């Protein structure tokens, strides 16, 4: 089958590689591949520490995807001849004030009820695990099963794997996906139409404008993030991902190779704005330093903002959109890195005409059809 993938972020690249490996003729359209949210992301693969009561479908989907991550990374390294950037040291979650401890206790109780593995630790026990944690950390959790990935290493490997298996990359923007009412006919670019049997919309926060069926279903959610580098003589960075609540505000630090540390992330609904604000940088550094005091001596090497593709219920949209051959893989919000393997497997199953993995059924965009019909 001919497949056009619109958007080369982690989702489009993962689906393009897997679809081409399954025998489809794949073209990826993107004027600036790997430049969206996937380029700035922290890279936590953290279904458990992201869990939230009421989002059980998302937790199930995330747990399934993190289970697939080691195999996905091994396949990718073999296919690309490059590292995939996976880190398996696990995650600790730290609380500072009494209110933060109470919130983590509630999270631990909720996860235990769901049968997920978490260990509650005192501040001292946490510091034994991660000496970089400062004295303000009063307690928290250890979650060995939550992984992490270096997003930029991953994107390079995905692009290389795609190219090796015949994916064609065209650096142009899609204007709209065309259909004749029953099936997809092509994609319109400025002045051109690319004809195709199937289209996968994976343009991240920009997906909603590409077909009326996605209208109002995906919106940009801005996130600011910082990249730090350890300097000689400074306290060494943590080896695990550190997530923390500081007086109710969430902050995280994800280690990279060679002393890198990614500190994130703010969250704001301000349309397609990608300015990094003074207040955003100040808040992230203030809160991260409360948890990891040694970072005061690190170099601040980058500040960036990206647009998470937010959906209406925080679950992604993975599946058909009505016209035959029109698929979506978007709306992954704060979990696109985590959900890449399960999303790519679901898309390949859909292209084959098979059922998607069980946990991905809840992400079928058809769940919004009733709401849309009754809104009209």
* Paired strand residues for 330: 317
Q: Is 77 in the site for ligand FAD (CB under 6 A)?
A: no
Residues 218, 354, 33, 71: what is their CA dihedral angle, to the nearest 10 degrees?
A: 110
Q: Which stretch binds ligand FAD (CB under 6 A): 3-11, 81-89, 109-117, 286-294?
A: 3-11
| Nearest distance, CB of residue 223 and ligand FAD, angstroms | 3
3 state SS of 339:
helix
Q: Is 319 in the site for ligand FAD (CB under 6 A)?
A: no
Of 101 and 211, which has the nearer Cβ to ligand FAD?
A: 211
The neighbour count for residue 352, using CB atoms within 10 Å, is 13
Q: How far, in Å, CA of 57 to CA of 25, rounded?
A: 32
Residues 29, 68, 79, 37: what is their CA dihedral angle, to the nearest 10 degrees?
A: 30
Number of H helices, E strands in the chain: 9, 20
Among 250, 291, 334, 356, which residue sits at the site for ligand FAD (rule: CB under 6 A)?
334
Closest CA to 34 of 266, 358, 340: 340
The residues near 176 (Cβ < 8 Å, ≥ 6 apart) are 187, 188, 209, 210, 211
Q: Is 310 in the site for ligand FAD (CB under 6 A)?
A: no
| Nearest distance, CB of residue 335 and ligand FAD, angstroms | 4
Among 43, 145, 220, 294, which residue sits at the site for ligand FAD (rule: CB under 6 A)?
43
Among 338, 350, 351, 356, which residue sits at the site for ligand FAD (rule: CB under 6 A)?
338
Q: Is 288 in the site for ligand FAD (CB under 6 A)?
A: no
Q: How far, in Å, CA of 208 to CA of 201, rounded?
A: 9
Residues 50, 52, 55, 58: what is their CA dihedral angle, to the nearest 10 degrees?
A: 10
Q: Is 9 in the site for ligand FAD (CB under 6 A)?
A: yes
Among 4, 11, 26, 94, which residue sits at the site for ligand FAD (rule: CB under 6 A)?
11
User: What's the token pair of residue 363?
Assistant: 């992400």
C-alpha to C-alpha distances, 202 to 107, 116, 345, 355, nearest whole angstrom: 32, 31, 14, 20
Q: Is 73 in the site for ligand FAD (CB under 6 A)?
A: no
Q: How far, in Å, CA of 82 to CA of 200, rounded?
A: 26
Q: How far, in Å, CA of 114 to CA of 116, rounded?
A: 6
| Nearest distance, CB of residue 39 and ligand FAD, angstroms | 7
How does DSSP classify residue 268? B
**Which string of x and - marks every residue 202-241 that binds ligand FAD (by CB under 6 A)?**
xxxxx----------------x-x----------------
| Nearest distance, CB of residue 240 and ligand FAD, angstroms | 14
**Which string of x and - marks every residue 161-190 that binds ligand FAD (by CB under 6 A)?**
------------xx----------------
Q: Is 76 in the site for ligand FAD (CB under 6 A)?
A: no
Whether residue 344 contacts residue 15, with contact meaning beta carbons closer than 8 Å, is answered with yes
**Which string of x and - marks every residue 111-150 that binds ligand FAD (by CB under 6 A)?**
----------------------------------------
Q: Is 37 in the site for ligand FAD (CB under 6 A)?
A: yes
Closest CA to 237 of 222, 249, 254: 254
Of 221 and 356, which has the nearer Cβ to ligand FAD?
A: 221
| Nearest distance, CB of residue 322 and ligand FAD, angstroms | 20
| Nearest distance, CB of residue 26 and ligand FAD, angstroms | 14
Binding residues (CB under 6 A) for ligand FAD: these are 6-12, 29-30, 32-38, 40-44, 173-174, 202-206, 223, 225, 264-265, 306, 308-309, 330, 332-338
């Amino acid at each position: 089958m001919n497949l056009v993938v619109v958007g080369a972020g982690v989702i489009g690249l993962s689906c393009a590689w897997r679809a081409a490996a399954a025998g489809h003729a794949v073209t990826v359209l993107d004027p600036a591949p790997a430049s969206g949210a996937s380029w700035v992301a922290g890279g936590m693969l953290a279904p458990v520490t992201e869990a939230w009561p009421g989002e059980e479908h998302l937790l199930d989907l995330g747990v399934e995807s993190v289970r697939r991550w080691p195999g996905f990374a091994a396949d990718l390294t073999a296919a690309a001849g490059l590292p995939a950037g996976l880190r398996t040291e696990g995650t600790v979650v730290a609380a500072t004030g009494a209110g933060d401890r109470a919130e983590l206790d509630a999270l631990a109780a909720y996860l235990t009820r769901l049968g997920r593995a978490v260990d509650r630790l005192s501040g001292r026990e946490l510091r034994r695990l991660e000496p970089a944690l400062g004295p303000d950390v009063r307690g928290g959790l250890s979650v060995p099963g939550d992984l992490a990935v270096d997003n930029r290493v991953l994107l390079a490997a995905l692009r290389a794997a795609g190219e090796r298996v015949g994916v064609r990359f065209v650096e142009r923007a899609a204007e709209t996906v065309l259909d004749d009412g029953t099936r997809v006919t092509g994609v319109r670019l400025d002045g051109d139409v690319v004809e195709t049997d199937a289209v996968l919309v994976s343009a991240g926060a920009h997906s909603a404008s590409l077909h009326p069926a996605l209208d109002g279903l995906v919106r940009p959610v801005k996130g600011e993030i910082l990249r730090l580098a350890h300097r000689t003589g400074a306290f060494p960075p943590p080896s695990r991902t550190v997530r923390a609540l500081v007086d109710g505000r969430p902050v995280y630090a994800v280690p990279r190779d060679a002393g890198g540390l990614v500190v994130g992330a703010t969250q704001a609904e301000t349309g397609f704005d990608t300015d990094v604000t003074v207040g955003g940088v100040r808040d992230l550094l203030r809160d991260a330093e409360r948890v990891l005091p040694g970072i005061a001596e690190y170099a601040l090497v980058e500040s960036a903002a990206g647009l998470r593709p937010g959906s209406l219920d925080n679950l992604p949209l993975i599946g058909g959109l009505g016209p035959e051959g029109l698929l979506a893989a978007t709306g992954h919000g704060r979990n696109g890195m985590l959900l890449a393997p399960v999303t790519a497997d679901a898309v390949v199953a859909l292209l084959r005409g098979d059922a998607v993995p069980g946990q991905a059924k809840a992400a079928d965009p058809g769940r919004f059809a009733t709401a849309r019909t009754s809104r009209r």
